[in-house]
Amino acid sequence: MALRRREIIVVRSLTDSDLGLFKEHRKSATSKQRAIALTTPVAKQLLSPELFVAGGIDMDCICVFGTVSNREPRNIGKVGKNWRLGGHQLIGQEFAELDSKDFMLLRSVEQNDATRPVMLTFVGRRAQSVMHAGVVAIVKDKLHQSVATYQERSPAFAGLAALFPSVPAGVALKAGT
Protein backbone atom coordinates (compact mmCIF):
# COMPACT_ATOMS: atom_id res chain seq x y z
CA MET A 1 0.00 0.00 0.00
CA ALA A 2 1.39 3.39 -0.98
CA LEU A 3 1.99 5.90 1.77
CA ARG A 4 -0.19 8.98 1.75
CA ARG A 5 1.88 11.96 0.64
CA ARG A 6 1.52 15.10 2.71
CA GLU A 7 0.13 18.24 1.21
CA ILE A 8 1.77 21.62 0.89
CA ILE A 9 0.34 25.06 0.26
CA VAL A 10 2.48 27.53 -1.64
CA VAL A 11 1.53 31.18 -1.28
CA ARG A 12 2.75 33.57 -3.96
CA SER A 13 2.28 37.30 -3.52
CA LEU A 14 1.66 38.30 -7.12
CA THR A 15 3.93 40.85 -8.77
CA ASP A 16 3.22 42.99 -11.82
CA SER A 17 5.21 40.56 -13.98
CA ASP A 18 3.08 37.59 -12.79
CA LEU A 19 -0.08 39.27 -14.10
CA GLY A 20 0.85 38.47 -17.71
CA LEU A 21 -0.77 35.05 -17.24
CA PHE A 22 -4.20 36.75 -17.25
CA LYS A 23 -5.76 37.94 -20.50
CA GLU A 24 -7.28 40.96 -18.79
CA HIS A 25 -3.81 42.23 -17.82
CA ARG A 26 -1.86 41.59 -21.01
CA LYS A 27 -2.60 44.90 -22.74
CA SER A 28 -1.28 46.92 -19.82
CA ALA A 29 1.53 44.56 -18.81
CA THR A 30 5.01 46.05 -18.98
CA SER A 31 6.64 42.61 -18.64
CA LYS A 32 6.75 39.97 -21.36
CA GLN A 33 6.46 37.24 -18.73
CA ARG A 34 3.37 35.05 -19.26
CA ALA A 35 3.71 32.89 -16.18
CA ILE A 36 3.83 33.08 -12.40
CA ALA A 37 7.29 32.94 -10.90
CA LEU A 38 8.20 30.16 -8.48
CA THR A 39 11.45 29.64 -6.62
CA THR A 40 13.83 26.69 -6.84
CA PRO A 41 13.07 25.58 -3.24
CA VAL A 42 9.33 25.61 -4.05
CA ALA A 43 9.86 23.58 -7.23
CA LYS A 44 11.95 21.10 -5.28
CA GLN A 45 9.15 20.58 -2.73
CA LEU A 46 6.37 20.57 -5.31
CA LEU A 47 7.82 18.21 -7.92
CA SER A 48 9.06 14.65 -7.58
CA PRO A 49 12.86 14.38 -7.69
CA GLU A 50 12.66 12.98 -11.24
CA LEU A 51 10.49 15.84 -12.50
CA PHE A 52 12.66 18.42 -10.74
CA VAL A 53 15.81 17.07 -12.40
CA ALA A 54 13.98 16.91 -15.75
CA GLY A 55 13.13 20.60 -15.46
CA GLY A 56 9.39 20.22 -14.90
CA ILE A 57 6.26 18.92 -16.60
CA ASP A 58 2.72 19.83 -17.63
CA MET A 59 0.49 19.13 -14.64
CA ASP A 60 -3.29 18.89 -14.33
CA CYS A 61 -4.20 22.24 -12.74
CA ILE A 62 -7.54 23.37 -11.44
CA CYS A 63 -7.66 27.18 -11.20
CA VAL A 64 -10.36 29.02 -9.25
CA PHE A 65 -11.04 32.69 -8.70
CA GLY A 66 -14.47 33.68 -7.43
CA THR A 67 -16.99 32.08 -9.80
CA VAL A 68 -14.45 31.41 -12.57
CA SER A 69 -12.80 28.02 -12.83
CA ASN A 70 -10.47 26.45 -15.34
CA ARG A 71 -8.97 22.99 -15.59
CA GLU A 72 -6.19 22.24 -18.02
CA PRO A 73 -2.56 21.19 -18.13
CA ARG A 74 -0.19 23.93 -16.98
CA ASN A 75 3.55 23.79 -17.21
CA ILE A 76 5.53 23.93 -14.02
CA GLY A 77 9.01 24.17 -15.39
CA LYS A 78 12.39 25.75 -15.45
CA VAL A 79 12.87 28.57 -17.93
CA GLY A 80 16.56 29.46 -17.97
CA LYS A 81 17.47 29.69 -14.30
CA ASN A 82 13.93 30.47 -13.12
CA TRP A 83 10.98 28.23 -12.30
CA ARG A 84 7.57 29.26 -13.59
CA LEU A 85 3.94 28.15 -13.60
CA GLY A 86 2.61 28.89 -17.07
CA GLY A 87 0.20 27.58 -19.68
CA HIS A 88 -2.60 29.18 -21.66
CA GLN A 89 -3.69 32.61 -20.55
CA LEU A 90 -6.44 32.63 -17.96
CA ILE A 91 -9.53 34.25 -19.43
CA GLY A 92 -12.29 35.97 -17.50
CA GLN A 93 -13.24 39.53 -16.66
CA GLU A 94 -12.99 38.61 -12.97
CA PHE A 95 -9.21 38.27 -13.32
CA ALA A 96 -9.04 42.03 -14.01
CA GLU A 97 -9.72 42.43 -10.28
CA LEU A 98 -6.35 40.85 -9.43
CA ASP A 99 -3.39 43.10 -8.84
CA SER A 100 0.14 42.95 -7.51
CA LYS A 101 0.18 42.01 -3.82
CA ASP A 102 -2.83 39.73 -4.33
CA PHE A 103 -2.22 36.03 -3.83
CA MET A 104 -2.00 32.74 -5.66
CA LEU A 105 -2.42 29.76 -3.35
CA LEU A 106 -1.23 26.49 -4.81
CA ARG A 107 -2.22 23.29 -3.02
CA SER A 108 -0.68 19.94 -3.93
CA VAL A 109 0.84 16.81 -2.53
CA GLU A 110 4.54 17.14 -1.83
CA GLN A 111 6.83 15.87 -4.57
CA ASN A 112 3.95 15.52 -7.01
CA ASP A 113 4.81 13.11 -9.83
CA ALA A 114 2.00 14.53 -12.03
CA THR A 115 -0.42 11.79 -11.00
CA ARG A 116 -2.33 14.21 -8.73
CA PRO A 117 -3.85 17.52 -9.80
CA VAL A 118 -2.73 20.86 -8.44
CA MET A 119 -5.30 23.32 -7.08
CA LEU A 120 -4.70 27.03 -7.72
CA THR A 121 -6.81 29.61 -5.96
CA PHE A 122 -6.41 33.33 -6.47
CA VAL A 123 -7.30 35.74 -3.68
CA GLY A 124 -7.79 39.41 -4.54
CA ARG A 125 -8.14 42.20 -2.01
CA ARG A 126 -10.78 44.05 -4.07
CA ALA A 127 -13.10 41.07 -4.57
CA GLN A 128 -12.27 39.10 -1.41
CA SER A 129 -11.07 41.62 1.16
CA VAL A 130 -11.75 39.48 4.24
CA MET A 131 -10.08 36.38 2.80
CA HIS A 132 -7.15 38.52 1.57
CA ALA A 133 -6.70 39.96 5.06
CA GLY A 134 -6.70 36.41 6.46
CA VAL A 135 -3.92 35.36 4.08
CA VAL A 136 -1.93 38.51 4.91
CA ALA A 137 -2.23 37.75 8.63
CA ILE A 138 -0.83 34.26 8.08
CA VAL A 139 2.00 35.04 5.64
CA LYS A 140 3.23 38.45 6.82
CA ASP A 141 6.94 38.30 7.62
CA LYS A 142 7.16 34.80 6.08
CA LEU A 143 7.43 35.58 2.37
CA HIS A 144 10.86 35.23 0.80
CA GLN A 145 11.10 36.34 -2.84
CA SER A 146 7.31 36.84 -2.67
CA VAL A 147 6.69 33.17 -1.85
CA ALA A 148 6.24 30.91 1.18
CA THR A 149 5.52 27.20 1.52
CA TYR A 150 3.54 25.63 4.35
CA GLN A 151 3.65 21.95 5.26
CA GLU A 152 0.61 19.94 6.24
CA ARG A 153 0.20 19.76 10.04
CA SER A 154 1.61 23.24 10.58
CA PRO A 155 -0.67 25.86 12.17
CA ALA A 156 -0.27 28.14 9.14
CA PHE A 157 -1.27 25.29 6.79
CA ALA A 158 -4.42 24.71 8.84
CA GLY A 159 -5.32 28.40 8.61
CA LEU A 160 -4.75 28.53 4.87
CA ALA A 161 -6.53 25.20 4.29
CA ALA A 162 -9.60 26.64 5.98
CA LEU A 163 -9.66 29.35 3.30
CA PHE A 164 -9.62 26.96 0.35
CA PRO A 165 -10.17 23.22 0.07
CA SER A 166 -7.97 20.55 -1.42
CA VAL A 167 -9.01 18.90 -4.66
CA PRO A 168 -12.02 16.68 -3.89
CA ALA A 169 -11.43 13.00 -4.65
CA GLY A 170 -14.14 12.95 -7.34
CA VAL A 171 -12.53 15.90 -9.11
CA ALA A 172 -9.02 14.51 -8.70
CA LEU A 173 -9.80 11.65 -11.06
CA LYS A 174 -9.13 12.52 -14.66
CA ALA A 175 -11.74 11.70 -17.27
CA GLY A 176 -11.41 8.12 -18.43
CA THR A 177 -9.74 6.84 -15.24
Question: For domain 7-172, is the CATH number 1.10.10.970?
Answer: no
The DSSP bridge pattern shows strands 36-38 and 82-85 to be antiparallel
- Is the pLDDT at 39 greater than 70? The verdict is yes
pLDDT digit string, tens, across residues 108-150 = 999 999 999 999 999 999 989 999 999 999 999 999 999 999 9
Q: Residue ranges of the alpha helices (H) in the chain?
A: 23-26, 40-46, 49-54, 129-139, 155-163, 169-172
| Cβ 142 vs Cβ 156: under 8 Å | yes
CA–CA dist 135, 46 (Å, integer): 20
157: three-class secondary structure by DSSP: helix
Q: What are 55-82's pLDDT values in tens digits?
A: 999 999 999 888 888 899 999 999 989 9
Domain edges within the chain: 7-172
Rounded distance, CA 73 to CA 76, Å? 9
pLDDT at 142: 93
Q: What's residue 177's pLDDT? A: 42
Q: pLDDT class for 48, splitting at 50, 70, 90? A: very high
DSSP H helices, 47-149, are 49-54, 129-139
Above 50 in pLDDT, residue 176? no
Q: Are the CB atoms for 132 and 125 separated by under 8 Å?
A: yes
Q: pLDDT digits over 142-172, tens only? A: 999 999 999 998 999 999 998 877 765 555 5
pLDDT bucket at 43, cuts 50 / 70 / 90: very high
Question: Is the distance from CB of 12 to CB of 21 less than 8 angstroms?
Answer: no
pLDDT at residue 169, rounded to an integer = 54
CA pair distance 77, 69, nearest whole angstrom:
22
Are the C-beta atoms of 79 and 92 separated by less than 8 Å? no
Q: What is the pTM of this model?
A: 0.89
pLDDT, the chain, mean: 87
Query: Cβ contacts of residue 177 below 8 Å, gap of 6+?
Result: none
